[in-house]
Structure 1
Amino acid sequence: MGLKELLLLQFIAHLCLDYFFQTDRLAKQKNTIGFKSPFLYWHALACFALAWLFSLLLSFVLAAAIISISHFILDGFKRHLNNSRYFGRYAFFIDQAAHLAILVIVVVLFNKWHGINPSIEVSLNFKYLLIITGYLVCLKPANIFIREVFKATEIQVSSDNEMPNAGKVIGVLERILTLTFIIVSQYSAVGFLIAAKSILRYGNNETLKTEYVLIGTMLSFGIAVIAGIIINFF
């Protein structure tokens, strides 16, 4: 295992922590009351456990603690960022960028000062890790990213004819299929998928709703396409 594999493993740990191991309700509580949130302390403890576990290194314990403490501090102060007049709408992107920057810095410094010397050598294929990461990103993280893009750009369309959460499920399915088609180099199938969705979703006269769906679709396919390109590049 080398630096690239360790970085990817820590990124996967971050995805699990911030997207799969917390509900929207708990995340909202944490973002609203900051350090007063009981969940924040459990969240920080889970951060430490996942960072250490996914490192596959006993010696990574101090680095995992640093990642956990920084995560705790950033999430604790995020409520102030959310309430900011100028930066509130971009709080999600600033917060995630800060988390990832700290993660990269800690891992790089750990490799520089300590070195990646596991007691038991673990053979990890970087491309397989990338594929796993790509599929994880295409699930809940992509849904939240698209939602935050709409929030940041103040795009909102209400409709009484939509099934709750149907758009999220459709988005996950289209990203999984798109990523799979790109990995196996079936690019024509991606075009067919886009065309099929266009016929089904854009056959109405609601201009605003159509543009709203079009933006979401472009973001959704864009995430999957970029993930597929990165995987194929390596």
Structure 2
Amino acid sequence: MFDFFSVLIPFLLIHTICDFYLQTDRWVEAKKARTYRSPELYLHATLQGVALLVPAMALGIDWRSTVCLIVIVAVSHFIIDLWKVTTPKGDKLAYFVIDQALHVSVLAAIAFHVADGASIEAVLQHERFSDGVLVVFAYVLILKPTSIVIGAVLNKYPIVNSAMDTDTDAVTDTDGVAEPVSDKTANVSGLVAGGELIGYLERLLILTFMLVGSYAAVGFVLAAKSIFRFGELNQSANRSMTEYVLIGSLISVVITTLIGVLVSLGVGIKFK
């Protein structure tokens, strides 16, 4: 008798070890340079399949299923990696995410097949399925949709540079929305769209800590961000910019907190 997660987790462990620890940088560069002619590509795909002998033997999976498992994983891994190394700009984060999602999907499908009593109907009828959907929806909601809401609110508050008394144009981001800086006086340093990423990470952390009931950690996240932002805003000669960043941050926190509270109530998490 195999449980879905008792099969999937060892499979994912082997995949992680083979993909990130046993695959050297030289192998990666060789695959990019020679693609399907690279011996490293075939060796890596074979290693991914053969390494699954360890969890298969530990779980007591019969030899026929084990052979099929090794062949399916090795072939699928070869095809997916070949697609990635032959894709222009395959080093971008989006392609990495897609690559890993495809590998995990193959392993999940195999684990689903191996697990006893697992079926789509059983998953849909599981008592926690609706809770899982609600949590996933919450995480989706706090990212791009929340950024759009924050941007719509802040658009009502135009920024005026105190020194030049001119309207400003957006050149960077804060908490997922454009951060205005004057064309005439801008001296911007930092990552392009770095503020957007900071906003995403902040909301992910807040929602996660709320769902696990770690409210003290939420306060730590807010305090840490305030400390890092204090020096930047304290040195700013433009009061409007300071207010802009503060409003954006507070809206981000308020929306995430409200969503966290509603989801916690929906899934039956008790507040302490």
Greater RCO structure (CA 8 Å; 6+ sep): 1
Q: TM (normalized to structure 1)?
A: 0.47
Query: Which structure features the higher share of helix residues?
Result: 1
Q: TM (normalized to structure 2)?
A: 0.42
Q: Report which of the two structures shows the higher radius of gyration computed on alpha carbons.
A: 2
